[in-house]
């Protein structure tokens, strides 16, 4: 039995072989291009992630500076509050001394000089 017996001539075989080889070559080229595209997509994604990471790092640096500024303000406020509390204590002590001196000289009702917190 020959190929010619089936009604298939050499032209058909050449065309079929060309089509098969062309399909294979197309798939190889397509796979190569897809692989390159895949790599390009991942490269672009990595670049985007690196840029986002750099932005986050910059934001962290900015926030740390801001926290340091607020911490410094807090410590200044604590120091000021402590100073004012000491001054208030000294003024109360001085007021009590004046009250005691005045009460020994004059009879003054004590409730006028008591600390009232309204």
| Global pTM value | 0.47
CB within 8 A of 115, min separation 6: which ones?
92
Domain boundaries, the chain: 9-103
CB within 8 A of 103, min separation 6: which ones?
110
User: CA 62 to CA 68: how far, in whole Å?
Assistant: 10
User: CA 94 to CA 66: how far, in whole Å?
Assistant: 42
What tens-digit pLDDT sequence spans the chain (118 residues)?
A: 444 455 567 787 788 888 888 888 888 888 877 777 777 888 889 999 999 999 999 999 999 999 999 999 999 999 999 999 999 999 999 999 988 888 777 655 556 555 555 4
Residue 92 has a pLDDT of 96
């Amino acid at each position: 039995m020959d190929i010619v017996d089936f009604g298939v001539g050499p032209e058909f075989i050449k065309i079929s072989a060309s089509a098969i080889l062309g399909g294979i070559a197309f798939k190889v080229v397509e796979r190569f291009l897809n692989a390159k595209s895949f790599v390009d997509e991942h490269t672009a994604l990595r670049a985007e992630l690196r840029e986002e990471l750099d932005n986050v790092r910059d934001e962290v640096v900015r926030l740390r500076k801001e926290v340091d500024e607020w911490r410094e303000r807090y410590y200044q406020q604590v120091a000021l509050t402590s100073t004012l509390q000491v001054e208030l204590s000294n003024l109360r002590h001085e007021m009590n001394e004046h009250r005691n001196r005045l009460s020994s000289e004059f009879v003054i009702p004590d409730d006028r000089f008591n600390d009232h917190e309204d």
